[in-house]
A and B are shown apart, each in its own frame.
Chain A
């Protein structure tokens, strides 16, 4: 049954703050960085007004924010933080520790270009620098999706078969600071019931006792978190983490569906959101707010009978490569739109994933190209999108040679 919701004018940052308010995490620790600041400022208001019982720690750096998350989550608390760009880079070391301790931390990332030169606007390079840190990574397209996905993230991470942290990405400014009319649950209890009033802390069997997987001093056998591990066990730790990742795709789908039943909003299968991909000759693969722009432009082409489809990748980690392979089978032209730096690499990080998937496809698309766009907040205008679509059409028609990658919207 779709629950009652209220319409609010919120930008992406406020949407995340409202999601936190409805979830009411036990501990939030964060440090301000544009374009994430509004999340923590808004949430601080909720704390100051007693609207949430969350312990809010105004830490002295992002490194300490994520470090406090480790302590709090290991103690059994439900935890959330938010950052961007340089702040995320500063957290880098600890991100691997969070996932290796199997701590279900929720983190919002308002994607921003990484210094230098210093910049405050959107690209995905900050998140991409963390793609091997063992986190689940979900990319959202607008403020509504940011609200919905933030709530979902707690439920995904805390699932006992997963116990991995989740990063929810929202494009800096384009989503974080762009207001839209969106729907939030009128009754926060709906959200609490969805994620659980308190975090379900996993229980494990240890030397014949059942203990809580936490620093609980009441455990019959006290646990040691973060031991020193030589070559004799380290690999097994990592192997188990990889195994946990395998459980994620199905749980993301299930949570997406369960959430749909409450909210009426569905994001594809939770992992991928295809738009007119099935019958398309040309498919653009993209993440974040640019998906909206590309869809809007593609609609005009559709009206004229040109079969363009848009494949939005919502779940970047774990990367749903088998589905991508399947959806792109036999296409005439696939174009990956990558909003991240790729210095020294063959193509950008999203494209590397897509190309790897396609390599093993029996029915590979005829042409696959990459566009690197939008670094440091450079706009992907409808005109620019149109220009690329024209190019893709010419490639399809054999009038132009395909290429490996191009940088678009930049002075060469």
Chain B
């Protein structure tokens, strides 16, 4: 089995806290940004964080952490371009395999760890990612999904939730923000059939670090879709990042699950498993929407019950679908 249940590792908070940070302070990401939390946790979750090579797609994380001549990365790190992080990772993985075959590299093969934003993953980088997954390279791809192109100023992505405002899908009198439902990236990658795929949320951090560990130990491509709260682009106070993050999962907008490619099994995990077993714990989406300025046009000047209930209906529908996939319905 490939999954968190089978993992022979229990993350102990104090031990993780004591591990050295390989992503260090001084970077220029916004206060309250969840992306650095995701990066730090992921690095701490690796079995051997000394032996890692990191790839970063163009985006907020890359730009704000490597403003020359400074860098926040204390492990080898490379940024190539926006749409090619997975192809870059293929090259690195192949290189170490070749160097190992020639006995130039004598240690274990390093983990190739990729961080890509949603733009670099769902949209412009999808081909490169699909190709690398299909070829079966061993790499761990962590998508930090802040649901828009933040680095260039909060533009629409296929990851942007329906009815959210972005600078290219502004809420006007005719069009109420983005019109399309969010693309199910996790299912798309899982459909390749050979990858360990999981969703994650840094608020539910034990579930997250376990999944990173499973991914690192899996002998093939692994993809982790982490929701990444962006106070700047979602228009909310930087103080409530973790509240918003928690609600993303509690409302079932971003449920926690994993896909085991060997047994072809979807499994619901952690908080989402609790909700699956106790449906009354599912929080109405409105609780999540109302905290964020990107959805403010659903509440003022007039309340759009029609839209809010449409979102709720689709979230319920998708949740039911996931329960079915996981054999819980």
Contact = CB atoms under 8 A, between A and B. Distances in A.
Interface string A210-234: 0000111111001111111110010
B73 interface: yes
A374 B68 CA distance: 46
A198 B67 CA distance: 33
B39 to A, nearest CB: 14
A329 interface: no
A391 interface: no
Contacts of A79: 91, 95
Contacts of A59: 87, 90, 131, 135
A64 B87 contact: yes
A289 interface: no
Contact of B68 (A57, A75, A219, A228): A228
A225 B90 contact: no
B91 A67 contact: yes
Contacts of B79: 225-228
B261 to A, nearest CB: 20
Contacts of B76: 214-217, 219, 222-225
A380 to B, nearest CB: 38
Contact of B102 (A26, A226, A229): A26
A69 interface: yes
A53 B101 contact: yes
Interface residues of B, number: 49
B313 to A, nearest CB: 37
A67 B84 contact: yes
A57 B94 contact: yes
B67 A57 contact: no
Nearest to A197: B102
B52 A60 contact: no
B127 A61 contact: yes
User: Which of under 10, 10 to 19, 20 to 34, or 35 or more describes the interface residues of A?
Assistant: 35 or more
Contacts of A160: none
Interface in A194-249: 198, 214-219, 222-230, 233
Interface string B81-121: 10110011111111111110110100100100000000000
A67 B50 CA distance: 25
A16 B75 CA distance: 37
A215 B54 CA distance: 9
Question: Quick one: which of B62, B88, B104 has the most chain A CB within 10 A?
Answer: B88
B102 A233 contact: no
B218 interface: no
Contacts of A224: 66, 71, 73, 76-78
A57 B74 CA distance: 29
Interface in A355-406: none
Contact of B84 (A94, A215, A217, A229): A94
A60 B78 contact: no
B130 A60 contact: yes
B129 to A, nearest CB: 10
Interface of B: 50-53, 55, 62-64, 66-69, 71, 73-81, 83-84, 87-99, 101-102, 104, 107, 110, 127-128, 130-132, 134-135
Interface of A: 26-27, 29, 53-55, 57-61, 63-65, 67-77, 79, 93-94, 97, 198, 214-219, 222-230, 233
16 contacts: A27-B98, A29-B94, A55-B98, A60-B130, A68-B90, A73-B91, A77-B99, A94-B80, A216-B76, A217-B51, A222-B74, A222-B75, A223-B77, A226-B79, A228-B79, A230-B68
